Amino acid sequence: MMDVGTATCHIDAMDMHYRELNTRLREAVNEQGMAQIEITNVYGQRYLGTDLHRPVEIHIRGTPGNDLAAFMDGPRIVVHGNAQDGCGNTMNDGEVIIHGRAGDVTGHSMRGGKVWVRDDVGYRVGIHMKAYQDKRPIIIIGGTAQHFLGEYMAGGVLMVLGLTLHPGEQHQASFIGTGMHGGAMYIRGEVDDYQLGKGVGRVPLDEEDEILIAELVAGYVSHFGGDGTEILAQPFMKLVPLSLRPYGRLYAY
Amino acid sequence: MYRTATRMGESAMHITSLENPYGDDKVYDACGVFGIMDTTGECFSGQDVVTGLVNMTERGNGLGAGYAIYGCYPDYADCYAFHVMYTNPDNRPQVEARLESSFVMVRAEEVPHNPTPELHAAPLIWRYFLRVDPNHPRVVLLGELEYVVATVMDINIAGIGAYIYSSGKNVGVFKGVGFPLQIAEYFGVTDYKGYIWTAHNRFPTNTPGWWGGAHPFSLLDWTVVHNGEISSYGTNRRFLEMQGYHCTMTTDTEVMAYAADYLMRRHNLPVKVAVKVMAAPLWDDIERMPPEEKALCRTLRQVYGSLLFTGPFTIILAREGEMIGLTDRLRLRPIVAATSGSRLYISSEEAPIRLVNPELDQLWSPIGGVPVVGRVGVPAQVSAPRTASWQREPVAAD
C-alpha cells in the first residue's frame, strides 16, 4: 500500500517479482519523492536499491536477494535480517546497514559509499573494490570473514572487527588480500602469515589510521550497539599491498 | 559459452524474450540447488521444496529442472525403480524385453504426468519396478548392485534412444526441460512423499538443455544436483569409463553420481574421506596438517587424483538415508545450510529456506570442501560446524 503524497510509504513484497518491486521503488523515489520506504516480506528479490537517484532511506524486512544495492548511488538501505551474495556490487555512493550477516562477494567492485555488516561475511568480500580521487568505498564487518577477503582489492578500506570470535580464537580466512594492489585492510584479531596472500604485508598504524579506525568503530557502535572503547582496546593490524602491480611480471617474458 | 547459449536460446525463444526484455545478450543466471531432509526419516510433502526452488526461479532459464525423492515408493521399497526416458518410443518393447529377461518385473507403467502445453519435446517416460533374481548367473558373478549398474550402462550406451536415469530402491528422479514449477506440476511431485528431497533449477552453459541433461543425475540410490561446471570432466569421465561407468547424458554433472558410487559404494570410503577426493585440500593446506591426516590426504590425491573435481561447484549428493552438501575447495559457487528441529536445509540462497521455514535453529555458509552431512537417525544440529564463529544464530526475519 502506498501513501502517495506523504514522505513515507510501505511496500508488501510478498510474492512480488524483483522487477515489479524495483519499478515500485523507482516510482516511489524518483517520481513521488518518498523520503522513507519500508519493504516487508522480502524473500530473495534482487537488485534492491539500484537506479534510485535521490536520497532515501529504505528499510528491508526479510532476506533481500543477490546484488542488493548494486550500482546504488546515494540511498541508505537498512536490512533487518541477512543479506545474500553480491551486496553493494559496483555501488557508487550511499550506505547499506545490515543487522545480520552478508554473503559472498559483498562489496564486489565497490566504488564508493559504505557497507556495514553487524556479523560475519562470506567468501571474497571486497573483491576488486577500488578508489579514485574523492571516491573511497568502505566495508565494515563486525564479525569475521571467510576466505579471499579483499581479493584483487584495488582501493578503499576493509575493516574486520572479529567480534564473533571466541576468546583466543583467530580469524580462519585464508588468501587474505590475494592479488591486492591498492587500499588498506584493518583487522582486529589474530591472523597467521600463511593466511595472507603473497603480495600483502603488515604495516604499523599511523595517526591517520587511528583516526579512521576510531571513526568507523564509533559508526559501528551507533548502528549496532556495543562498547567502542572495548573494541578499540584491542590492537588492529593494517594490511597493505607490497606492490601496485603484483602480477606485473607474471605475463611478461 | 555464448555460442551454446545462443543455440539453445533459439530453441526456446519465448523463454529468452521473457527473461530478457531488453533484447541484449545478457542473461543474469546461475543454477539453483535446494534440498530438505528430515533426519528422523519421516516422509513429508514436497510442497516446501517446490516453493523453495520456485523462489529461485531467477537462477535458471527454463532449460531444466528436476527433483529427487527418497522414500517415494514405499509399496515397492524392495524393488529397483527404473525411470526410463524414450527419445525413440519405438524401442520400448526392445528395452522391456531386455528388462524382463534380466529382472523379475513387478510392475511397469508410464510415469504419471499432467498435460502441460508450455513444455515441449516431452519424451515418453516409463517406470519399472524390478527385483533381482539372486540365482541369475551374472548376478552370482557380479553381485547384485554391480549387476544393476551394468544393466543400466548396457541399455544407456546401446544407442536406441532409451535412457535409464533413475535406478534406486524407493527413490525417484523426476526431471525435464522447463522451469521448476512447470516440472513440478508436470510430474505432480507434490503428490509424493519423501524424507529427502533434492531439487535443481538449471541454467545450462556448456551442454544442451535436453530432458536427459536436466538434474538430478542418478545411479542406484545416488542422486546429485549441481550448480557450477566441472573443468575436470574429461579426466573424470575417462577414469570412470575404465571402471565401467559410461556417460550418456552429455552433462558434466553425470560424472559426480558415478564417482560417488565408485568411491563410497564400491570402495566403501566414508563420506568425510570421499569428499577429500572430490574436493581435495590444497597442497599448501596438506603441508600444515598433522602427520596422519597429511599422509591420508596425500595418498588420496595420489590414488584418486582422476576423481578430483576442478572448477566451480556446489552439489547436493544424496543416497538412502543421507544428504550431503559440498562445494569446491575455493567455494566458487554459493551454499547456505540451516537446521530447524529435525529438518536440514541446503540451498544456493538463504531466502528460500526462510520462506519455507521462518523458525530456524541454525544457519551457516559451509567452507569450501567441507561437507554438510545429514543422516537419518542423527540429529540435524550435528550437521552444523562445531566452530561457532562460522555460524550465526539466525536473525529473526520480521
pLDDT in tens, A141-192: 999 999 999 999 999 999 999 999 988 899 999 999 999 999 999 999 999 9
Give yes or no for a cis peptide into B216 (omega within 30° of 0). Answer: yes
List per-residue pLDDT tens for chain B, 398 residues long.
Answer: 333 333 333 333 344 444 444 444 444 457 999 999 999 999 999 999 999 999 999 999 999 999 999 999 999 999 999 999 999 999 999 999 999 999 999 999 999 999 888 898 899 999 999 999 999 999 999 999 999 999 999 999 999 999 999 999 999 999 999 999 999 999 999 999 999 999 999 998 878 888 999 999 999 999 999 999 999 999 999 999 999 999 998 889 999 999 999 999 999 999 999 999 999 999 999 999 999 999 999 999 999 999 999 999 999 999 999 999 999 999 999 999 999 999 999 999 999 999 999 999 999 999 999 999 999 999 998 888 765 444 444 444 44
Q: Cα distance from A183 to chain B (closest Cα, Å)?
A: 24
Judge if A27 and A130 occupy the same domain.
Answer: no
Distance of CA A171 to the CA centre of its chain: 18
**Looking at the domain assignment, is residue A249 inside a domain?**
no
A43, A104, A166: residue with CB nearest B351: A43
* pLDDT on residue A253: 57
- A82 and B350 in contact by Cβ < 8 A? yes
Q: Which grid coordinates belong to B298? A: 596425500
Judge if A120 and A46 occupy the same domain.
Answer: no
ipTM of this predicted complex?
0.94
Half-sphere exposure of A36 (CA within 13 A, CB side): 5
Residue A197 forms contact with B (CB below 8 Å): no
Nearest-10 crossing angle of helices B47-55, B180-187: 160
Q: Which grid coordinates belong to B24? A: 541484449
Residue that terminates a domain, selected from A36, A62, A88: A62
Residue A73 forms contact with B (CB below 8 Å): no
**Looking at the domain assignment, is residue A246 inside a domain?**
no
**Looking at the domain assignment, is residue A3 inside a domain?**
yes
Judge if A51 and A77 occupy the same domain.
Answer: no
Which value, to the nearest 10 degrees, does the dihedral of the CA atoms of residues B345, B346, B348, B351 take? 10
Active site residues of B: 31
Q: Are B12 and B63 in contact (CB under 8 A)?
A: yes
pTM of the model: 0.92
**Looking at the domain assignment, is residue A7 inside a domain?**
yes
* pLDDT on residue A158: 98
- Among chain B, residues having any CB pair with chain A shorter than 8 Å are 55-56, 58, 284, 288, 330-331, 334, 336, 349-352, 354-355, 363, 365, 367-368, 387-390, 392, 394-398
Report which secondary-structure segment, H or E, holds A119.
none
Taking CA–CA distances from A63, the nearest residue in chain B reads B351
- A63 and B398 in contact by Cβ < 8 A? no
Picking from B160, B136, B161, B159, the residue whose alpha carbon sits closest to that of residue B146 is B136
Residue A143 is part of which domain span?
Answer: 66-241
Chain B residues with CB inside 8 Å of A46's CB?
A: 58
Instruction: Identify from B349, B357, B363 which residue to disrupt to test chain A contact, counting A C-beta atoms within 10 A and taking the largest count.
Output: B349
- A146 and B397 in contact by Cβ < 8 A? no
Judge if A89 and A117 occupy the same domain.
Answer: yes
- A65 and B349 in contact by Cβ < 8 A? yes
How do A93-98 and A73-80 pair as beta strands? parallel
Neighbouring CB atoms inside 10 A of B284's CB total: 10
Q: Cα distance from B173 to chain A (closest Cα, Å)?
A: 27
- A84 and B350 in contact by Cβ < 8 A? yes
Judge if A46 and A122 occupy the same domain.
Answer: no
Count of structural domains, chain A: 2
- A44 and B392 in contact by Cβ < 8 A? no
Q: Cα distance from B361 to chain A (closest Cα, Å)?
A: 15
Do you know the residue count of chain B? 398
Chain A residues with CB inside 8 Å of B398's CB?
A: 61, 80-81
- B367 and A44 in contact by Cβ < 8 A? no
- B350 and A63 in contact by Cβ < 8 A? yes
Distance of CA B92 to the CA centre of its chain: 26
**Looking at the domain assignment, is residue A248 inside a domain?**
no
**Looking at the domain assignment, is residue A250 inside a domain?**
no
Q: How far apart are CA A125 and CA A149, in angstroms?
A: 5
B352, B365, B390: residue with CB nearest A44: B352
Residue that terminates a domain, selected from A21, A36, A62: A62
Judge if A168 and A224 occupy the same domain.
Answer: yes
Q: How far apart are CA A239 and CA A243, in angstroms?
A: 12
Chain A residues with CB inside 8 Å of B334's CB?
A: 84-85, 103-104, 122
Range scoring the smallest mean pLDDT among A72-86, A196-210, B202-216: B202-216
**CATH number of the domain to which A94 belongs:** 2.160.20.60
Judge if A21 and A77 occupy the same domain.
Answer: no
Q: How far apart are CA B251 and CA B260, in angstroms?
A: 16
* pLDDT on residue B396: 41
B55, B349, B392: residue with CB nearest A120: B392
The residues, any chain, with a CB within 8 Å of residue A171's CB and separated by 6 or more, are A144, A145, A160, A162, A165, A187, A189, A190, A191, A195
Judge if A13 and A101 occupy the same domain.
Answer: no
**Looking at the domain assignment, is residue A130 inside a domain?**
yes
Judge if A163 and A49 occupy the same domain.
Answer: no
Using alpha carbons, list the distances in angstroms from residue B204 to A210, B15, B160, B379: 50, 14, 25, 35
**Looking at the domain assignment, is residue A19 inside a domain?**
yes
Q: How far apart are CA B29 and CA B168, in angstroms?
A: 31
Residue that terminates a domain, selected from A23, A43, A62: A62
Judge if A117 and A91 occupy the same domain.
Answer: yes
Judge if A41 and A155 occupy the same domain.
Answer: no
Judge if A21 and A6 occupy the same domain.
Answer: yes
